[in-house]
Amino acid sequence: MSQLSFFEKDEVLTKAPVNTVNHTSCQRIEDKFAHLLHEDLQLANLVSYVGNKGIPVLRLYRYKEAFAFSFVEDFISRFGLGEEDYIFDPFCGMGTTLFTASQKGIPSIGVDKLPIATFIAQTLPLFYSLRPGQIRDAFELLKTRVQQAPPAAVALDVAIMKVAFPPDTLLALRKWKTAIDSLESPIKDILLLLFFSVLEPCSYTSKDGQFLRLVREKKIADPEEALENKVNEAERDIQLVRNLKWDQSVRLPSVYPGDTRDLTEITFARQPTAIITSPPYANRYDYTRTYSLELCFHFVRNFAELKDLRFGILRSHIESKVDSHEQPPHPVVKEVVDILRKRGKLLNNPRIPDMLTGYFVDMQKVIREWARVLAPGARVAMVVDNVRFEGELLPVDLVLSEMAEEAGFRVEDILIARYKGNSSQQMGKYGRVPVRESVVVWSKP
C-alpha cells in the first residue's frame, strides 16, 4: 500500500464543502465513516477491567488496562468462533482474550512487549492445574524459610524503588522474593503472581491515576499478611472454578514476549482467524511506569533495562522519540499535529505532536502486519479510544480504520462503546466535548 494514497484522496476531498477552515481532513473522515458509526452502549461496561471483578482467577491480578472476560465472550459469539478457529491477541496484556478463548476450547496465541503482562497471561491458566490446598501448603513452607532468606537482588537504582516502600517492608519483600524463587514451577510462578499483586498495597504507590502516584499518607499492608490474604483468595477461586465445573483441561494459549510491529519471529500454528484486542491508547500513558515495581522486582536488573523497555513499547507515551525522517502517516494526524505544533511553547506538553506521530507510524506497521498474517476471511475487533489535546480531537477509531482499508481490510462497523468526558482542565477551557471509545470491526477479504 502506498502512504501517498491517503494524501491524494485527501487533496481531492478538500474541495468538498467542510464545516471548518482548519479541520478539513477530520471533517472528511467523519463524513466518510458516518454510516458505519453505531452506538452500542451496552459494551460500555465490558471495555474496562471492572467486569472482571467477578471472574475467578482472572481477578487475582489487577491489570487495569484490561478489558472484560464478557467482552471477549461477546465477540467470540458475534464472530461465531468455535474450536476450529485460532484467535490472536497482538497486545495480549494479562491475557483476557486468551483466557476466555481457552475457556471456550478455542486455541489462541498472544504477544505483548511488557514482560509482566506476558508473565501474567502465561501464569493465570496454570491455576487450573492446581489441587485445592496446594498454594496454601507452599505458602506455609515458605513461612518457615523466609526469615533465613537473603534479600533478592532488585533494581534499586530506579528512582521509584527508593521511595515506594518503608525500609522494613522493602527488606521483607525482598526476602519473600528469594523464598518464592526457591520453589519449582508452576507453584513458583503462581506465588510470584500473587506476590506481584501485593506490591501496590505494600507500597506508598497507587495505580489509580494515569501514572503510578506516590501517596504518602497511605496505610501500608504487611507483606506476609497481604500475601496470606492473596493465597486465601486464590484458594477460594480454585475451589470456585471446580464448583463451576469449568473445563480443567483448558487449552493452554501460546504467549510470546514480542513486539507486534514485527511478527516475523512469531510462530503461528496456522493463520489466525480472528483478532480480539486493544492497543495502548494515544493518551500519554506509560505502562513501564505503572508496572515499574513489578518490573524492578523481577523483570529488569537496573534503570538502563527499564529505559530500554520504555523505548521499546509502542509510542503512546510522552517520552516517545521520533526519527527526523518520520512524519505523520495520515492526513488527519498531520492536520492535528500541525495545529498543535503551531502552538509551540503554548502547548501544555510540547512533546505531544511527536508522540502522536510515533503512535500512528507504529500502528500503521501493526495493521500491515495483521493484514499479512491473518487468514482470508478473518475478523478483527479492536477497542480504541479517541483522544483530545488542547481542544483538538483526533478520531483514532476512524484513522486506524482508514489505515486498515489501505492495508486491505474491509471496515464493517465502528461501534461506539461509550463517550468519555475530558479532563476538567480541558473542559474549563474548551467546553465538554465527549470523546468516543469504540470497537472497530474489520474483516480480511
Ligand X SMILES: C[S@@+](CC[C@H](N)C(=O)[O-])C[C@H]1O[C@@H](n2cnc3c(N)ncnc32)[C@H](O)[C@@H]1O
Nearer to ligand X (CB atom), residue 116 or residue 198: 116
What is the per-residue burial (b if ≥16 Cβ within 10 Å, else e) of 176-194?
bbbbbeebeebbebbbbbb
User: E-assigned strands of 354-409?
Assistant: 379-385, 387-389, 392-394
93 binds ligand X (CB under 6 A): yes
Peptide bond into 186 cis (omega under 30): yes
Nearest distance in Å: CB 112, ligand X: 4
- Asked if residue 391 lies in contact with residue 20, where contact means CB atoms within 8 angstroms, the answer is no
Nearer to ligand X, 263 or 399 (CB): 263
Considering only residues 256-295, where is the footprint of ligand X by CB under 6 A?
259-261, 278-280, 287
Q: Name which of 257 and 350 has its Cβ closer to ligand X.
A: 257
314: cell is: 509502542
The DSSP 8-state label assigned to residue 212 in this structure reads -
In whole angstroms, the minimum distance from the beta carbon of 175 to ligand X comes to: 29
Determine the size of the site formed for ligand X (CB under 6 A): 22
Shortest Å, Cβ 299 to ligand X: 12
Task: For the CB of residue 196, give the shortest distance to ligand X in the complex, in Å.
Answer: 14
DSSP 39: E
Residue from 104, 113, 230, 418 in contact with ligand X (CB under 6 A): 113
CA 373 – CA 376 distance, rounded (Å): 9
What residues contact residue 199 under an 8 Å CB cut-off, 6+ apart?
A: 173, 293, 294, 297
Inter-CA distances, 338 with 17, 174, 333, Å: 21, 49, 8
Among 63, 128, 256, 360, binds ligand X (CB under 6 A): 63
Please, which residue, 60 or 66, has the CB nearer to ligand X? 66
The single residue among 6, 33, 61, 67 that binds ligand X, judged by CB under 6 A, is 67
| Rounded least distance, CB 273 to ligand X, Å | 18
- Residue 127 beta carbon to ligand X: minimum distance, rounded to whole angstroms: 16
CB of 65 to ligand X, least distance (A): 4
Please, which residue, 91 or 389, has the CB nearer to ligand X?
91
Which cell numbers hold the place of 229?
A: 490474604
Comparing every residue's Cβ against ligand X, the nearest one is 93
Distance CA 438, CA 73 (A): 17
Full strand arrangement of the beta sheet holding 435-443: 37-39, 410-420, 435-443, 379-385, 274-277, 87-89, 108-112, 254-257
Q: Binding residues for ligand X, per CB under 6 A?
A: 63, 65-67, 91, 93-94, 96, 111-114, 117, 259-261, 278-280, 287, 313-314
